[in-house]
Amino acid sequence: MPQNCPYVSIVIPVFNEEENLPELLDRLGKAASGLGKPYEIIFINDGSRDNSLSILKEAALKDGHMVVVDFNRNYGQHAAVFAGFEASKGEIVVTLDADLQNPPEEIGKLVATMEQGYDVVGSVRQNRQDPLFRKIASKIINKVTSSVTGVQLSDYGCMLRAYRSSVVKTLCASKEISTFIPVLADMFAGRVTEVPVAHAERMKGESKYSVWKLVKLQFDLMTSFSLLPLRATMVIGFATSILAMAAAVVLIAGRLLFGPAWAVSGIFTLFSAVFFFMGVILFGLGLLGEYTGRIYQEVRRRPRYVIRQTVRSGEAEERR
């Protein structure tokens, strides 16, 4: 029986997770019914190339709590979560990864904390089970992100989070293409808190984030939420100009005091200075290009994703 008015919506992006889905479905089903409240589970198939879609569809046709939103290709985790937000009907929306790194059993804790009147409840992974380089990278990213965006969160990467529907509505109304949901949500939320949650190793398969994808995500984060990089380039450019002027004074003084021989060897100093400026200029240009490119992307107002079909039990497949 389809649920008309769920209280909790659970949103899960799925990208090539066929090995994890059976256990996820099992544990999630138990955890969700254990909440004792009406719920729905929204899976977004983010262009998986394995069997994930058929596993999800089969589960959704059997269980009226489940909805499967199927993308026509891979648009990335955040786009997938957005699609889940758009489809969600619950007062409380919980996001979760499909690889069982976020135990579904912790959903109850998040919902209970939300009920104390918070708009967003984040979570901090205890004993995080990830490769060392990911942990160190996250430490740095968390620090930089808090200082750049001014949003104080201790664990941005953890997607096991709960949002009130009003915050979700505002998020859906933010039509920017490159974004990072935890930071965006916290900017709109009135009361935010964090709870500690368990973290497990990825059950099966590999992380869908390569180093390059992580760098891209961090770059998105820096440039979509802050103008600091642009300002930093300006400051660096200004400081180097001052230094260059000082160097010129030294060079001229050396030439006058020690004669032409000194100046000839000084030419190399000049070379290094010139190359340094070229670096600064190119860096600044690249950065400007990055922001301009982003403006171009945003003004086109392309949709974030394309949905091929939505599957619910008891309903014929909806096609768009």
For ligand UDP, the binding residues (CB under 6 A) are 13-15, 17, 46, 74, 76-77, 80, 97-99, 101, 202, 207-209
Asked if 99 is part of the footprint of Mg ion (rule: CB under 5 A), the reply reads yes
Helix, coil or strand: residue 202: coil
What is the identity of the amino acid at 196?
P
Of 101 and 145, which CB lies nearer to Mg ion in the complex structure?
A: 101
Smallest separation, CB 131 to Mg ion (Å): 11
Query: Within a 10 A sphere around the Cβ of 199, how many other Cβ atoms?
Result: 20
**Which does residue 46 touch among ligand UDP, Mg ion, none (CB within 5 to 8 A, set by kind)?**
ligand UDP
Smallest separation, CB 44 to ligand UDP (Å): 7
Contact residues for 55 (Cβ-Cβ < 8 A; gap 6+):
18, 21, 22, 25
Of 46 and 70, which CB lies nearer to ligand UDP in the complex structure?
A: 46
Specify the stretch interacting with Mg ion by CB under 5 A; choose among 99-107, 193-201, 252-260, 282-290.
99-107
Instruction: Give yes or no for a contact between 88 and 11, defined as CB atoms under 8 angstroms apart.
Output: yes
Specify the stretch interacting with Mg ion by CB under 5 A; choose among 56-64, 156-164, 201-209, 244-252.
201-209
Of 118 and 156, which CB lies nearer to ligand UDP in the complex structure?
A: 156
Smallest separation, CB 111 to Mg ion (Å): 22
Reading the block at residue 276, the tokens are 């340094």
Of 41 and 80, which CB lies nearer to ligand UDP in the complex structure?
A: 80
Instruction: Give yes or no for a contact between 56 and 33, defined as CB atoms under 8 angstroms apart.
Output: no
- Rounding to the nearest 10 degrees, give the CA dihedral for residues 220, 221, 225, 227: -70
Helix, coil or strand: residue 68: strand
